[in-house]
Amino acid sequence: MTAREEILSRIRGALGDTPSRPDVPRTHRQQGVHRPGTPELVRQLIDRLEDYRATVVRVAAEDDDAIGQAIADALTVRGIGQVVAPPGVPRAWTGRLADVVVDEASIDARTLDRIPAVVTGSVVAIAETGTIVLDGATVCGRRAITLVPDTHVCVVRAMHVVQTVPEGLQRVDPRRALTFVSGPSATSDIELDRVEGVHGPRTLIVVVAG
């Protein structure tokens, strides 16, 4: 059987009354060699994030007050006093900021565009790819608030850092609206001129706690 005949045979099988499904080899790694949250993974995640031009702030403790102080310091340096935050974000994270808008899914895009920053949590972070995953839950917020403001402050707890993509996918609900963040929004043209902030935040600040 030629390659063409094999392809057409598969199409006929898929479109017929009793479609056949070929076995898909799944020989990829299901997990890494390091347990979630280990120092090796945290260091690798930070290395990847900084390579993507994200700003990383370390907080030794995982308590909300320490996280809130780190967030306030990072935004104050940039002259930002107003943020939008999803309803599930702990008050201690934003309590030191002058103006906090709690998003109840009623803020439109034009209003969001006038708010300089957003503060959210995350559900998991993947060390090998430097990717942070948001799942639309109350601590992550709806997708719009993480794409429109120019600065995104995202909290990652060390215990939620895994090594591989399969491990990360095992921790999320595929039925939710998932957002995968790997550094600030950026694109480049054929001449490799990099432009940031085209389809998402121009600045990504990641607070790694623990």
- pLDDT tens, residue by residue, 77-94: 999 999 999 999 999 999
Whole-number Å distance between alpha carbons of 50 and 80 = 21
Residue 197 has pLDDT above 80, yes or no: no
Give residue 193's pLDDT band: very low, low, confident or very high (50, 70, 90): confident
For residues 90-121, one letter each, b for 16 or more C-beta atoms within 10 angstroms of the residue's C-beta and e for the rest, the string is beebbebbeebbebeeebeeeebeebbbbbbb
Domains of the chain as residue ranges with CATH: 33-186+195-209 (3.40.50.10420)
Per-residue model confidence as pLDDT tens digits over 34-49: 999 999 999 999 999 9
Q: Is 28 left (phi over 0), alpha (psi -120 to 50) or beta?
A: beta
Q: Is 10 exposed, middle or buried (0-12, 13-18, 19+ CB in 10 A)?
A: middle
- What is the predicted pLDDT for the residue at 165? 95
Are 191 and 138 within 8 A, CB to CB? Answer: no
From the list 147, 163, 197, the residue with the least C-alpha distance to 35 is 163
As a whole number, mean pLDDT of residues 133-159 equals 96
| Cα–Cα dist 103/142, whole Å | 9
